[in-house]
Chains A and B, each alone.
Chain A
Amino acid sequence: AQKVTQAQTEISVVEKEDVTLDCVYETRDTTYYLFWYKQPPSGELVFLIRRNSFDEQNEISGRYSWNFQKSTSSFNFTITASQVVDSAVYFCALRLSGSRLTFGEGTQLTVNP
């Protein structure tokens, strides 16, 4: 069975601070995909990134970066120079070779001005 753990329920930072959201996953499969989604107060899920299990390269997209480490089964997400608009719930998710997504519990990020 697969599982995703986001140990941080809530994080509060001040604008311009860097913040890292943790994600730890469990699976016995060797082929899998990891995702991060943002859910603003409106509720709509916004896709941020997908990473497959064979690609451990870190990725940077603007102020966002992701650190994938298979050795620790982690896929952490860092926001650099956070902004108020980054305030949202962020979900990490795992998908095996089929379509089924398993979501973590989510991390509520609040960026204060």
Chain B
Amino acid sequence: GAVVSQHPSWVICKSGTSVKIECRSLDFQATTMFWYRQFPKQSLMLMATSNEGSKATYEQGVEKDKFLINHASLTLSTLTVTSAHPEDSSFYICSARVPLSSYEQYFGPGTRLTVT
């Protein structure tokens, strides 16, 4: 149980275009999902916390107009990187909190974004 998927697993896009990444909880309903970014050889940095039916809470320094997060259902959160630039190239990982589980998070497999 507690499986989280991400789509796509990797994507290459041109500078200036937008890219949408999906995060799904497959066998449970997740009221809260998290989005992390990981640059090569670095740690995971929390970008934002996504709550179903409400606006996401962004970490300091993360541009909310650039990284649009939508959590429209209990099993799906999306991260849209708008007007992507090469410096946005990174590994994006989502996680979902399992309800009634002492706040445990289960991680998706990640999406590697390359902006050319």
Contacts and interface: CB of A to CB of B under 8 A. Distances in A.
B34 A99 contact: yes
Contacts of B89: none
Interface of B: 32, 34, 41-44, 46, 49, 91, 93, 97, 102-110, 112
Interface residues of A, number: 20
A98 B42 contact: no
> Majority SS of interface residues in chain A?
loop
Contacts, number: 43
A42 B46 CA distance: 20
Given A43-B109, A43-B110, A99 B103 contact: yes
Contacts of B97: 99
Contact of A106 (B43, B104, B110): B43
A100 B103 CA distance: 9
Interface string A27-51: 0000001000100001111010010
